[in-house]
């Protein structure tokens, strides 16, 4: 990470005071969005919690608190025991299928519609940004929308995968070659898709403002993207509960719930 520590931050416009939350913080974030030329949004699991989707590691509610992800959500687990793998993922996909975007997703789509945001990079696989209307979306960890055959490359949509799972046949299979389908998401033990990461890196490098929403900014390589923006002279704004490694570098740091904070930003924009 780059940037000075302490009470002042240095960016393209010189030095500015760090701002915290509250109405002043929402207003300041609205000012930054209005004056930016190439703002980018980076989102994590926290933006989907108001939609009823738990995050991964929060005490008491995190998905991986009582489950070893290497046993049920790794590429090795998929290859060794596809039926057991899909018993876990089938329940998760069925649950995600019924979830709907919350007002935080809608606020980000509205910022893009107004021309205040160039694109959205998300760590989430739940497709809620797309359902909410976001157009330029980089789903860096993939999406539940599709499952793929690792042998022939065939793709099967979520609705059909859920139908196959409901039939009780075990792991859904490719109709062409009878191989188990793999969710088109990045599993533990897999690398991120190179093309998606390159596009995300380019957006971060060109951004004069990165707005990080609902992410702890601790999972690499995605967690490096705010640093890419800072190294290019861009500014950071963070909207999330809990601390992040970039808090000292953020001009605006809002720590309330993401829905309330982003609705306040939209209200400040008018």
Active centre residues (catalytic): 141
CA-based R_g, the chain, Å: 19
The SS3 assignment for 14 reads strand
Beta strands in the chain (DSSP E): 8-11, 14-17, 39-43, 119-122, 137-139, 142-149, 155-157, 181-185, 209-213, 235-239, 252-254
Look up tokens 């490359």; give the residue: 153
200 contacts 244 by C-beta, under 8 angstroms: no
Tokens standing for residue 146: 């599709």
152 is in an annotated binding site: yes
Name 237's bridge partners.
211, 252
Tokens standing for residue 157: 């949509």
212 is in an annotated binding site: no
Write the CA distances from 230 to 78, 163, 211, 234, 252, integer angstroms: 38, 46, 12, 5, 14
Per the annotation, where are the binding residues? 149, 152, 174, 177
Per the annotation, where are the binding residues for Zn(2+)? 149, 152, 174, 177
């Amino acid at each position: 990470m780059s940037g000075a520590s302490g009470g002042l931050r240095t960016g393209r416009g010189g030095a500015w005071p760090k701002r915290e939350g509250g109405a002043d913080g929402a207003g300041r974030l609205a000012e930054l969005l209005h004056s930016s030329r190439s703002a980018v949004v980076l989102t994590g699991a926290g933006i989907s919690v108001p939609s009823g989707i738990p995050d991964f590691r929060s005490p008491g509610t995190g998905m991986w608190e009582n489950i070893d992800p290497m046993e049920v959500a790794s590429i090795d687990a998929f290859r060794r025991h596809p039926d057991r793998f899909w018993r876990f993922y089938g329940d998760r996909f069925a649950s995600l299928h019924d979830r709907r975007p919350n007002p935080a997703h809608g606020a980000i789509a509205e910022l893009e519609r107004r021309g205040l945001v160039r694109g959205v990079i998300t760590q989430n696989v739940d497709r809620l940004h797309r359902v909410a209307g976001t157009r330029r979306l980089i789903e860096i960890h993939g999406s539940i929308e599709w499952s793929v055959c690792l042998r022939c490359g065939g793709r099967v949509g979520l609705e059909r995968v859920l139908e196959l799972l409901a039939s009780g046949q075990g792991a859904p299979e490719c109709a062409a070659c009878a191989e188990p389908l793999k969710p088109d998401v990045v599993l533990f033990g897999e690398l991120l898709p190179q093309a998606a990461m390159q596009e995300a890196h380019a957006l971060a490098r060109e951004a004069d403002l990165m707005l990080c929403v609902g992410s702890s900014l601790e999972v690499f390589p995605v967690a490096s993207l705010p640093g890419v923006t800072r190294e290019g002279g861009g500014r950071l704004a963070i909207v999330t509960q809990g601390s992040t490694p970039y808090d000292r570098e953020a001009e605006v740091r809002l720590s309330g719930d993401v829905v309330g904070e982003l609705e306040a930003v939209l209200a400040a924009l008018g």
